[in-house]
Structure 1
């Protein structure tokens, strides 16, 4: 890696992306009028609505970058970027298909067998198959190389034993891509493999981990001797670390890493407009937040363009995640100072006080999920050292 590799440059969206953006906005306006889009913070994590996902899928907005041969849209990463950017800005309920669309589908396309591609990808694109992430464990979150979940060889395939933690949607989703140790090695990054696990298997036990708000999004996922055939292995045995590294670039660099709290910023602006009295200081602080948002977005677009071109962008993705999630949390605190109205869960749903209450309780997770920011800064530092 060189310093020029870290400089992604400005990205211009193609003309078709502008037309697509208006299509999405028109669709969302109709959904908002029907009461299905309520401008929720963190909607990509907690807005589980399979019916909404299926309506998106019928328009070709799920599995957009998957090849048409597998039921996908065959469209560009930047076109997909525009769609998910609009969905996040609107606070649309997209969590049902989020992981399947963002990383499970592309990972299966890249590393899966033809049978796996033919089985899973059309279902993902149709909004009919939902995935969870089976990476983190207790004491093995950002340090994935220390996972203790084991996959042992059997006469018919593999037996999977261990407990995954923070497994979002495991209580409602269909499958998880699970990282497990298949071989002991002095190199911690060797001997890891990925498996596609049916979350409804009788030997999978899901235990809820509730958010501060009481919402049930995350889980412990106990794998109690899950029997798998060789068809469940994703990629080659021992290639799990390389595969996960590529997957994390998809997970860390998207607009969900800086737009989770945009509905709150929009609500703030709306509230200031309704009061009819916005001081110069308030305007300046909103302007600074908007400027930060625009700069992080440009970096995120650069990563999307790099991934579309087949270039590695692990360090840049870590940078997006670090800058973006810190911005999300700081936005919540800044908004509270700009307009000091009490946060209230019992306020009208979608109002500024209610959205503020929701955002406050979700804020602790922004810099944790997808890898803690402290770990990500280590990745960024190593990348810069190698660029010298």
Structure 2
């Protein structure tokens, strides 16, 4: 039988001021549960972070009441604060839990439905999200509209029976596994209208006319997909919120996507694995000390920034500018970690490295270029920052 693996993070054990005690009290509960649930999952598998897909794990997490944590109890949630979800997210990400089956729905789609959806949509979707009974994907990027989201061309045309959808989306995570998509589409005007004429629609991915083509990445995984829509008939109640208000709704949604701990923790399992092996080997020297200090110092600052976003979102604010800061600096940090660790290992050839550490480093090195692409490129984030500073 495989020995149990310590999935606890030395880095998230560092104290973080500002979390209410009643929410911080959730941390040891989650940590103890994860230590048992992931006890045989090696570091190189956990290094997939929030890309890891395991529906059984998500449903077990839901049984603990830890999905839909901030949703009102009347919709199947726990009615907890954004701080509680921050603590939960930190521990899930630090442990490398396979959360992809519920992550998008829990993080952002549920918030779109809660804030903009009809009462019928809330009653139908939110309890099912909280129980991990349904998997969501989001339809934003298109072949000619990636970072420039305002160039979306997928169009939904009103009919007597609802809508007819035509177009395509790309880089759609888990579309091949999803039950539903929440998509940004054009319902009026043209691409020249930029931020006008967009709406959000939710629809069943099994409808006739929807084709999903998985895309294999450099690591051999198939997280991403191209999704094609050919005369897909949607019911009238597919519309979320107001027709034509899609741009305002999706920018509010992106604040949830860009500001959370997942924008700083994608390399955390690798960092913890390296730290544990350096401690076990009694490794000393400037390279080890410099790398450990870089990781711990930057992570402490980024945790504080992300926590500030959780506080703003909890108050119902829209920290679009601040979220862009977290996304830009956080993904830069995530991409730097494997480089720093590789340099430290090269400088300490006398320290043995495990196969798990080598595989984790190889995997994160392969996929880390995507960290600054998903959710909006670094250039887009800096454009948002410039606009917030009055420079555009």
Look up the SS of the partner of 1:160 in the other structure. strand
Shift of 1:331: 0.9
**Residues 20-59 of structure 1: CA distance to partner in whole angstroms, max 9, x if unpaired?**
00000100111122549876224212x1101100111011
1:138 paired to 2:163: no
TM-score (norm 2): 0.91
TM-score (norm 1): 0.92
**Residues 251-295 of structure 1: CA distance to partner in whole angstroms, max 9, x if unpaired?**
100000010000000011112123222214311321122100110
**Residues 292-317 of structure 1: CA distance to partner in whole angstroms, max 9, x if unpaired?**
01101100110110111112200000
Q: 1:128-207, aligned counterparts within 5 Å?
A: 128-184=133-189, 187-207=193-213
- Determine if contact 2:180/2:204 at 8 Å carries over to the other structure: yes
Shift of 1:117: 0.5
Cα RMSD after superposing both structures: 1.9
Choose which of 80, 99, 104 in structure 2 pairs with 1:94.
99
Q: Which residue of 1 aligns with 2:335?
A: 329
Q: Distance in 2 between matches of 1:135 and 1:151?
A: 14
Q: Which residue of 2 aligns with 1:216?
A: 222
Q: 1:246-265, aligned counterparts within 5 Å?
A: 246-265=252-271
Look up the SS of the partner of 2:132 in the other structure. coil
Q: Which residue of 2 aligns with 1:49?
A: 54
Q: Which residue of 1 aligns with 2:243?
A: 237
- Determine if contact 1:20/1:82 at 8 Å carries over to the other structure: yes
Larger deviation, residues 181-190 vs 259-268: 181-190
Q: Distance in 2 between matches of 1:139 and 1:199?
A: 22
Look up the SS of the partner of 1:283 in the other structure. helix
Q: Distance in 2 between matches of 1:18 and 1:308?
A: 16
Query: Would the alpha carbon gap of residues 67 and 76 (structure 1) be closer, same or farther in structure 2, given more than 3 Å must change?
Result: same
Q: Which residue of 2 aligns with 1:294?
A: 300
Q: Distance in 1 between matches of 2:30 and 2:80?
A: 15
Q: Distance in 2 between matches of 1:80 and 1:207?
A: 33
Corresponding pairs, count: 372
| Unaligned segments of structure 2, at least 5 residues | 1-15
Shift of 1:348: 7.3
Q: Which residue of 2 aligns with 1:126?
A: 131
| Unaligned segments of structure 1, at least 5 residues | 1-9
1:271 paired to 2:277: yes
Look up the SS of the partner of 1:225 in the other structure. strand
- Determine if contact 2:43/2:357 at 8 Å carries over to the other structure: no
Q: Distance in 2 between matches of 1:34 and 1:146?
A: 45
Shift of 1:179: 0.8
Q: Which residue of 1 aligns with 2:9?
A: none
